[in-house]
Amino acid sequence: MTENLEAYLAPTWFVQSDDPQIVSLAREIVGPVSDDVDRACRLFYAVRDGIRYDAYDIRVTRESLRATHVVETGRSWCVPKSVLLAAVCRAVGIPCRLCYANVRNHMATKKLLDHIGTDIFYYHGFNEIYLRSRWVKATVSFNRTLCEKARLAPLDFDGVHDSIYHPFDLAGRRYMEYLHDYGPFADVPYDDLVAKFAEVYPRVQLVGDDGTGPAGDFESDIAAEAAEA
């Protein structure tokens, strides 16, 4: 089993678990705690709430998906946030892998849906963390303040139960559907992700350095649409 976990403990170009900035951040978050479940939970909440989710700033340049870039910008979307979680977990010796799925999101803003031309989000990023001899799913995408504005229950994580999107929101309306699972990866499947995005989002320039999404504040737009619902 140790050999099978090696790839999920090792640093990569995207998952920079050996970068001094990432190592320092991970150690600061876990503090003196030695139990891996407790440490993983601390890392989960630090990434979930410490990095603001911004679906209007979806970039797929190689640099924008690196863990250090996420820390430096303080905001990102699901794929880079999952990269950061993998990096900080591996930095303190907790195996963590990257996972991807296609999901139908019923709670995206109209502005975003008009921009990408579909309600299916391809290569939604989440994680699996190896704790107490089993893989546990963890989704750090939506920070708590965003969930509160969207009237959603935030995804919590206890290191025992899978943390994945709820099928319905707090009002009982359809929220998220999982359509296809790509499986786990040790590193970002960058070429496949970019190729798929180019295929399914032909109207969107995905690799520009000047931002790719619609203008505005994602959290504010989510709150406005939730108030109208």
Confidence at 12, pLDDT banded by 50, 70, 90: very high
Is a pLDDT exceeding 80 seen at residue 97? yes
Report the top-level CATH class of 2-203: alpha beta
CA 140 → CA 32, 98, 203, distances in Å? 23, 12, 28
Highest mean pLDDT among 30-44, 102-116, 147-161: 30-44
For residue 3, the model assigns a pLDDT of 53
As a whole number, mean pLDDT of residues 9-15 equals: 98
User: What is the rounded average pLDDT of the residues 111-128?
Assistant: 91
Report, as an integer, the average pLDDT of 165-170.
Answer: 69
Q: How many Cα atoms are found within 13 Å in the side-chain-facing hemisphere of 209?
A: 2
209 — pLDDT class (breaks 50, 70, 90): very low
